[in-house]
A and B are shown apart, each in its own frame.
Chain A
Amino acid sequence: MSQIPRFRRGFRFQWEPAQDCYVLLYPEGMVKLNGSAGAILDQVDGQRDVEAIIAALQQQFPDAGDLGADVRAFLKDAEQQHWIELS
């Protein structure tokens, strides 16, 4: 069964025009996200599961080849960093 990622309590994901990137904000801290991390986390809405997110990204980046492994690895890493929870 595919898991649904959601941002951990206290974490906020948003676009920052001044930095020209997505950031993840949390208590007294901020992570600047690179393009692919931003694109993946932009799909995290607490509704869609990992497979649905991969499918959406495949559609968004049709020339990128198979994204499945990279997206799963990134989300696993984000979970280990305690940015998101997978349930």
Chain B
Amino acid sequence: MTSAGAPVPVNNPHQAGPPLWLLAELTYRCPLQCPYCSNPLDFAQTEQELSTEQWVSVLRQGREMGAAQLGFSGGEPLVRQDLPELIAEARKLGYYTNLITSGLGLTKSKVDAFAEAGLDHIQVSFQASDPELNNAVAGSRKAFEQKLAMAKAVKAAGYPMVLNFVIHRHNIHQMNDIMALCEKLGADYVELATCQYYGWAFENREGLMPSKAQLVQAEQEVNQYRDRLAASGSAMKLIFVTPDYYEERPKACMNGWGSLFLTVAPDGTALPCHSARLLPIGFPNVKELSLREIWYDSPGFNHYRGDDWMPEPCRSCDERDKDFGGCRCQAYLLTGNADNADPVCGKSPHHERILAARRAADHATAGLDGLVYRNANNSRLFFRG
């Protein structure tokens, strides 16, 4: 038993609540080449994808444990031919099902068929507000036109419309145009998500990270637009995710390790977040263990639960229950040790790495052609051993 004021009990698997959010990364295959993709750099090395039956089993187990939100993501989930079957199964189980797609490979008849199968929501991602920049970032000549057509089809089919734009130094000047485009398309939610620097985005950080001045201006534009929407009674909601590299305290990453989110990667590897694969920790596979064993009992999922693992400055910090020391992946990428405080924190002895990235962003001049694009050929360059 703990006395009042003592830290939350740690590393007791039974303290963990259920995984309310299940992210099914159905495949790493994708027709686009976005240089900020969150997939692992060595994705092309991934072995066989789970079968339909294996995914159905994952969905059933997750729902039994209490998962309510389900994301079908990837790669591009539309590549999977069994998607309609998985959607129907998910809806039958009672999930709120989200399809997170580039829009490539989508057709009007698929949009309607998915609605019939019980899909609740389709999120279409864009790369920019105009075709030239959009297609250059996506590495695909016809992407923008297709995305526009599919956004309209999603709206026409009666889905709630969520549009997602990943924001970086090459499109952050388009904020007003992006929001106007979304309003014109009738979006209910607009995610303006500044790059998070994992996977390919970490590799390309210098070429993607906006400067402080760019960010300040974008925030002003979003706030002004928000005021205008409110004044006109519009229900369109703008969600602006600013980069944590400009914060002095880290984000409460994933709301805490193994607290709400469970990701299953294409090959069945279960992860506490979609980036965790890069950590030097062994993660279980749904082909070998039940989801319940994975979530409650596996060393991978218990690794950073509670706060016993924390070194200083987190250990004695009175904000440790609020931000959980930040992001383990970011700590690993920037300090080489995933136990360390997230260097975003001003108290971290490694905070200088963040300050250096900010200075670099103030002086960066490289164009889009300096970025490493996410494709199988480039991925093979990152294979280890």
A4: Cβ under 8 A from any B Cβ: no
A52: Cβ under 8 A from any B Cβ: no
CA distance A10 to B71 in the complex (A): 15
Known contacts A10-B188, A18-B65, A18-B66; A26 and B160 CB within 8 A of each other: yes
CA distance A10 to B158 in the complex (A): 9
B78: Cβ under 8 A from any A Cβ: no
Known contacts A9-B158, A18-B18; A30 and B68 CB within 8 A of each other: yes
With a CB–CB cut-off of 8 A, which chain B residues contact A12?
A: 96, 120
The answer, among A14, A19, A27, A82, for a CB contact under 8 Å with B162, is A27
Inter-chain contact B235/A27, CB cutoff 8 Å: no
A44: Cβ under 8 A from any B Cβ: no
- Residue-wise interface mask of B (147-178) relative to A, using a CB-CB cutoff of 8 A (1 in contact, 0 not): 00000000000111010000000000000000
CA distance A41 to B120 in the complex (A): 19
Inter-chain contact B66/A28, CB cutoff 8 Å: no
Pick the most buried of A18, A19, A30, A82: most chain B CB atoms within 10 A of its CB.
Answer: A18
Min distance, Cβ B241 to any Cβ of chain A, angstroms: 12
- Looking at chain A, what size class is its interface with the partner chain? 10 to 19
With a CB–CB cut-off of 8 A, which chain A residues contact B159?
A: 9-10
Query: Which residue of the partner chain A has the closest CB to B158?
Result: A9
Min distance, Cβ B183 to any Cβ of chain A, angstroms: 15
The answer, among A14, A18, A25, A27, for a CB contact under 8 Å with B123, is A27
A50: Cβ under 8 A from any B Cβ: no
B98: Cβ under 8 A from any A Cβ: yes
B20: Cβ under 8 A from any A Cβ: yes
Inter-chain contact B120/A10, CB cutoff 8 Å: yes
B313: Cβ under 8 A from any A Cβ: no
Inter-chain contact A30/B160, CB cutoff 8 Å: no
With a CB–CB cut-off of 8 A, which chain A residues contact B121?
A: 10, 26-28
Min distance, Cβ B294 to any Cβ of chain A, angstroms: 16
CA distance A82 to B162 in the complex (A): 15
Inter-chain contact A30/B96, CB cutoff 8 Å: yes
Min distance, Cβ A20 to any Cβ of chain B, angstroms: 10
The answer, among B98, B158, B235, for a CB contact under 8 Å with A28, is B98
- Residue-wise interface mask of A (26-40) relative to B, using a CB-CB cutoff of 8 A (1 in contact, 0 not): 111110000000000
B189: Cβ under 8 A from any A Cβ: yes
Known contacts A10-B120, A10-B188, A12-B120; A27 and B68 CB within 8 A of each other: no
CA distance A13 to B7 in the complex (A): 35
CA distance A16 to B121 in the complex (A): 20
Pick the most buried of A12, A25, A28, A30: most chain B CB atoms within 10 A of its CB.
Answer: A28
Inter-chain contact A30/B69, CB cutoff 8 Å: yes
Known contacts A10-B160, A12-B120, A18-B18; A27 and B66 CB within 8 A of each other: no
A-B contact pairs, 19 of them (CB 8 A): A8-B160, A8-B235, A9-B159, A9-B160, A10-B160, A17-B66, A18-B65, A18-B66, A19-B18, A19-B20, A25-B68, A25-B69, A26-B96, A26-B160, A27-B98, A27-B121, A27-B189, A29-B69, A30-B68
| Contact surface of B with A, Cβ cutoff 8 Å | 18, 20, 65-66, 68-69, 71, 94, 96, 98, 120-121, 123, 158-160, 162, 188-189, 235, 237
Q: A19-B20, A27-B160, A27-B188 are in contact. List 10 more A-B contacts (CB 8 A).
A: A9-B159, A10-B120, A10-B188, A12-B96, A19-B18, A23-B68, A25-B96, A26-B96, A29-B69, A30-B96
| Contact surface of A with B, Cβ cutoff 8 Å | 8-12, 14, 16-19, 23, 25-30, 82
Those 6 A-B pairs whose CB atoms lie nearest each other, nearest first = A18-B66, A10-B160, A25-B96, A27-B121, A18-B18, A82-B235
